[in-house]
Structure 1
Amino acid sequence: MKLNKLTTSASALAVGLSVLASSAFAETVLRIQSVLPAKADEVFMLEEFGRDVEALTGGSVKMEILPAGSVVGVRETLDAVDSGLIDGGFAWTHYWSGKHPAAMLFGSPVAGAGVGIDNIAFLSWFQYGGGKELYDRLWDEMGVNVKGFMLQPVGPEALGWFKEPIETMADFRKYRFRTPPGIPGQTYKDIGVASVAMGGGDILPALEKGTIDAAEWCCPKPDSVFGFQKVLKHYYLQGLHQVVVNADLYLNGDVYEGLTDGEKKAIEVAANASLSKSMSYRIYENGKALKDLTENHGVILHDTPADYFTEYMAAAKAALETNSAENEFFAEVWQSQKDFAAIAVPFWAGAQTSNAQLGKAFADSLE
């Protein structure tokens, strides 16, 4: 009798432990829709981030990455996350400038926020200069049920691709030019450029059809993946419209709150790792891609006309000042960036000068 009771107790304990184990290792699959096609370089890095999250959670959180348009259109991505139609989205936060102008200051602070912040200095502001606290407030300012994670800083982005060389802004203004949405694109319109906003996957077909006849997207590697070199051969690296640009993950707020504290921490840690890994990946990959474009695809590299910088910077500062005057939260975020820049940029810009000159001399020696 005692043996039977012991056996019964042991069986009950085993069942209980099994239930606890299955509960402890319950698997959550987050469906994340990107605003890009599956072949995009950014999606490659997003998938690597997902693998890091899976490893850090012991497999309890997995991410299923869906290409653009799988569930909703690109422009509906954030709304779909907000409503819970999808668990998460992946895009650039300046895409949502229509919901709140301050989105630009996190996704693509035009002309380095007008104060010389590059992609590395931006991370310093974001992680240690008060930027993350403001970023976490952005979603409430927008009125969306979202938890955001910054993943992929890039910059500076190339000015773009043209059919013929441009020597002045007068030449530039002859082209219908694909630009990013929001203030960076509007700033081009302010200086007389025929700016046309569209998603990355639409650019090459638009170039082939003649809907546009010049374009920017990002940098040599992502640009070459989209195949712009098939249509255009004149490439300009130096641009101001996106000195800094960040691609982010957006999780539905209820989905995020349903995760354990350990799972939330794993996503945070993987996101911080992604900030560094994406910059490291891009430097080498862009270098390889630029070499391939110029050596094997007939692409000609040019310096950007000098009058572009004066015209675009003046228009960018005017746009920043206008939005700051009209929106209190925008003004708060921009002031934070300016306060940070007053301390950090003199050091960082000065420290980079010697290395930039050395690097340029080495690059010239290769020619």
Structure 2
Amino acid sequence: MDRRAILGRGALAATAAGLAAPILSSPALAQSAPAIRWRLTSSYPTSLDAIHGAGHVFARTVAELTDDRFQIRVFGPGEVVPALQALDAVQAGTVEACHTTCSFYTGKNPAFAFATGLPFGMNTRQQSAWMYEGGGIDLLNELFRGYNCYGLPLGTTGAQMGGWFRKEIKALADLQGLKMRIAGLGGTVLSRVGGVPQQLAGGDLYPALERGTIDAVEWLGPYDDEKLGFHKVAPYYYYPAWWEGAANTSLMVNLDQWNALPASYKAAVRVAAADATSWMVARYDTRNPEALRRLLAQGTQLRAFPREVMDACYREAMALEQELAAKSPEFRKIHEPWAKSRDDMRAWFRVAELSFDSYLAQVAARR
């Protein structure tokens, strides 16, 4: 082969590569993408760097993935709309997006609970698996379209604590007339065993508990609960949060705004939301242990819910599921595949995850 021909082709290729490189790295490509500015209202107090902070992690990642062409400004509750009106603002187009808990809106439709988690439902990994591989995101968006929204998981808390109580819960009878801040279907179950559910925003919880307007409050776990100061006015800290084996928080986007996004920006939103979801649960898992130790050192009384209470709530939760599936087509459509995924994963987890965790818990207890 002609050496000069090889050199000639090599030189030509090198020249072409040299010319192409500046074109690919040029900001001209970024400039061809539209500049978009959104407002996102959060349902979570700005003092809570994990659950509120996940919205900022999401917005920062979207900006990085789009060379700052797509900017999302995060607002705290009350800065644009109150915490529990976040979804309404998105529906109406007052803001483009919100970061919220869908179980706040079960009054609109009980099927919203699936986006957060059902009482005695899936744990963190199971909920994530159902969302991303079990069709959960698609099923939920069939529901959300009727409310002019598109939704994605944006954060998950892991297993939560059962809340702060001004008095001890020794038996089911102690729940009679007990006023507790608890949202969604968990509140419905509580009412069926004699409690009185109250739905309040995060910023209103401490004063309500301090004044005795409510007798108990559930929020999340030690890391957040310590910041909110509940241990100062309620000594008993119960576990587990049977109403949320895991709780997803959600990104809800106005449907017209979502549909108008370029495909690359939609991809950036999906990636950023998934990244923030992983970040949030990691933040809680690494910070809850030390926060719990600090709370116990300050006199917090850690208690497990009595088995009588757990069993009664479980029976009512299972009955509620069946009742909602019988009367709500939207709930039934999601519940059927969700329940199959739940049962299948529980069978597998009993073999592997649960046996491993149970053994290590027993070993730790003997040490």
Structure 2 length-normalised TM: 0.87
Aligned to 2:277: 275
Question: Residue 40 of structure 2: which of 24, 32, 37 is its match?
Answer: 32
Residues 84 and 201, structure 2, Cα contact 8 Å, conserved in 1: no
**Deviation of residue 316 (structure 1)?**
0.5
**Deviation of residue 163 (structure 1)?**
2.1
Change (3 A) 1:275 1:21: closer
The one-letter amino acid of 1:131's match is G
**Deviation of residue 341 (structure 1)?**
2.4
Count of aligned positions:
341
Change (3 A) 1:354 1:79: same
**Deviation of residue 209 (structure 1)?**
1.4
The one-letter amino acid of 2:268's match is A
User: Structure 2 matches for 1:268-347, cutoff 5 A?
Assistant: 268-295=270-297, 297-347=298-348
| Structure-1 separation of matches of 2:141 and 2:57 | 24
Residues 151 and 247, structure 1, Cα contact 8 Å, conserved in 2: yes
- 2:163 matches 1:154: no
The one-letter amino acid of 1:244's match is A
The one-letter amino acid of 2:92's match is S
Q: Secondary structure at the match of 1:42?
A: coil
| Structure-2 separation of matches of 1:363 and 1:161 | 26
| Structure-1 separation of matches of 2:292 and 2:208 | 23
User: Structure 2 matches for 1:52-67, cutoff 5 A?
Assistant: 52-67=61-76
Shifted more, 67-76 versus 220-229: the winner is: 67-76
Q: Secondary structure at the match of 1:275?
A: helix
- 2:231 matches 1:229: yes
Residues 121 and 348, structure 1, Cα contact 8 Å, conserved in 2: no
Aligned to 1:136: 141
Q: Secondary structure at the match of 1:187?
A: helix
**Deviation of residue 61 (structure 1)?**
1.3
| Structure-2 separation of matches of 1:190 and 1:172 | 10
The one-letter amino acid of 2:357's match is A
**Deviation of residue 69 (structure 1)?**
1.4
Query: For each residue in 1:53-109, what CA deviation from the matched residue of structure 2 results, as whole angstroms up to 9, or x when unmatched?
Result: 111111111221101112222333212111211111111111121221111122221
| Structure-1 separation of matches of 2:140 and 2:283 | 25
Shifted more, 268-277 versus 196-205: the winner is: 268-277
Question: Residue 131 of structure 2: which of 117, 126, 147 is its match?
Answer: 126
Unaligned runs of at least 5 residues, structure 2: 1-25
The one-letter amino acid of 2:285's match is I
Residues 220 and 290, structure 1, Cα contact 8 Å, conserved in 2: yes
- 2:62 matches 1:45: no
**Deviation of residue 275 (structure 1)?**
2.5
Residues 115 and 153, structure 2, Cα contact 8 Å, conserved in 1: no
* Displacement over 4 Å in runs of 4+: 18-23
**Deviation of residue 174 (structure 1)?**
5.6
**Deviation of residue 351 (structure 1)?**
1.6
Residues 30 and 69, structure 2, Cα contact 8 Å, conserved in 1: no
User: Structure 2 matches for 1:162-241, cutoff 5 A?
Assistant: 162-173=165-176, 175-180=178-183, 182-241=184-243
| Structure-2 separation of matches of 1:186 and 1:354 | 32
What is the aligned-residue RMSD (CA, Å)? Answer: 2.0
- 2:84 matches 1:84: no
The one-letter amino acid of 1:149's match is L
**Deviation of residue 190 (structure 1)?**
0.5
The one-letter amino acid of 1:64's match is R
Percent sequence identity is 26
Q: Secondary structure at the match of 2:352?
A: helix
Query: For each residue in 1:7-26, what CA deviation from the matched residue of structure 2 results, as whole angstroms up to 9, or x when unmatched?
Result: xxxxxxxxxxx996684254
Residues 239 and 304, structure 1, Cα contact 8 Å, conserved in 2: no
Unaligned runs of at least 5 residues, structure 1: 1-17
Change (3 A) 1:341 1:36: closer
Structure 1 length-normalised TM: 0.87
Change (3 A) 1:335 1:22: closer
| Structure-1 separation of matches of 2:245 and 2:29 | 49
Q: Secondary structure at the match of 1:102?
A: helix
Query: For each residue in 1:104-145, what CA deviation from the matched residue of structure 2 results, as whole angstroms up to 9, or x when unmatched?
Result: 122221220xxxx212111111111121210121112xx222
- 2:252 matches 1:247: no
